């Protein structure tokens, strides 16, 4: 395909992008403050009504503080959350978010945050997955005193970004998370030092969405990606979630039931 053909195809896609979800109710199961950014983006771009669902502890599906391991893949976890939210709310459309962290594939020594959103529409029988990968302040350090803890906290963007403190190392079963002010942090460090057998404290960033503004930025970008996918309709059947198609035959390049990025 030539450059002109590619441009024509992209323009055709943009012209056909629209929302079929205006005023539709969408279930979002979350307990970590994701509803604000997700609901506002999808309301603005799709016109849908994202409704926060309670009644299930999503930490049971995995925690960043490692007391509960996530089962399955990132997509599996998001799908399970979406399904639980749909069941609790009785809605036919559900959305869920799941984040992960790891080494940047292009700058291996730096961490990266991958945010994934899944949209399930049982009326149409489709799943659409969107994502965003971006920078993160994910970090940790072993410290021996309050001065070292303060240095780490400042480098991690505290207090806007919350912190977690535990005695000895990353595997100690006791910890304090959601630390969001200097007084609470100092008290937690003193508590951890008192319990520590090696006179060290493990301090790390709290990666829950409400505790990490940098992560919320990536969640917003993933929501924007999802909205663009849902506004892109298959030229053959009208189902949402297809971003690209063959310009000559106008047939989808991606499967409709699982439209993954």
Domain spanning 140-206 has what CATH number? 3.30.1490.20
pLDDT at 258: 36
CA 151 to chain centre: 28
Q: Which regions in the chain score pLDDT beneath 70?
A: 1-18, 243-261
Other Cβ atoms less than 10 A from the Cβ of 49: the count is 14
Q: Under a CB-based contact definition with an 8 Å cutoff, are residues 204 and 140 in contact?
A: yes
pLDDT at 123: 96
pLDDT at 48: 98
pLDDT at 19: 85
Determine phi and psi for 142, rounding to 5 degrees.
-90, 125
pLDDT at 214: 98
Q: Which residues pair with 113 in a beta bridge?
A: 101, 134
CA 40 to chain centre: 15
pLDDT at 257: 35
Q: What is the pLDDT of residues 149-195, one digit of tens each?
A: 999 999 999 999 999 999 999 999 999 999 999 999 999 999 999 99
pLDDT at 201: 99
pLDDT at 7: 43
pLDDT at 260: 36
Which regions of the chain carry the CATH code 3.90.950?
Answer: 3-136+213-259
Half-sphere exposure of 255 (CA within 13 A, CB side): 7
C-alpha span between 186 and 147 (Å, rounded): 10
pLDDT at 105: 75
Which regions of the chain carry the CATH code 3.30.1490.20?
Answer: 140-206
Write down the pTM of the prediction. Answer: 0.85
pLDDT at 261: 38
| Overall fold of domain 3-136+213-259 | Maf protein (3.90.950)
């Amino acid at each position: 395909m030539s450059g002109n053909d590619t441009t024509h195809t992209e323009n055709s896609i943009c012209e056909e992008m629209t929302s079929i979800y205006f005023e539709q109710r969408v279930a979002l199961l979350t307990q970590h403050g994701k509803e604000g950014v997700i609901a506002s983006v999808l309301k603005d771009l799709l016109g849908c009504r994202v409704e926060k669902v309670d009644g299930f502890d999503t930490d049971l599906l995995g925690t960043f503080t490692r007391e509960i391991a996530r089962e399955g893949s990132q997509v599996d976890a998001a799908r399970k959350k979406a399904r639980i939210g749909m069941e609790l709310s009785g809605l036919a459309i559900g959305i869920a978010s799941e984040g992960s962290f790891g080494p940047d594939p292009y700058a291996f020594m730096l961490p990266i945050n991958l945010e994934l959103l899944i949209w399930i529409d049982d009326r149409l029988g489709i799943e659409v997955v969107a994502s965003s990968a971006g920078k993160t302040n994910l970090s940790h350090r072993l410290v021996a005193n309050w001065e070292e803890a303060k240095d780490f906290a400042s480098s991690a963007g505290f207090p806007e970004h919350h912190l977690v403190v535990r005695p000895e190392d990353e595997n100690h079963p006791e910890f304090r998370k959601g630390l969001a002010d200097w007084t609470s942090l100092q008290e937690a460090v003193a508590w951890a030092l008192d319990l520590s057998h090696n006179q060290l404290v493990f301090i790390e960033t709290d990666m829950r969405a409400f505790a990490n503004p940098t992560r919320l930025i990536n969640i917003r970008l993933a929501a924007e990606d999802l909205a663009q996918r849902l506004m892109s309709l298959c030229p053959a059947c009208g189902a949402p979630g297809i971003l690209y198609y063959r310009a000559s035959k106008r047939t989808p390049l991606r499967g409709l039931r699982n439209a993954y990025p």
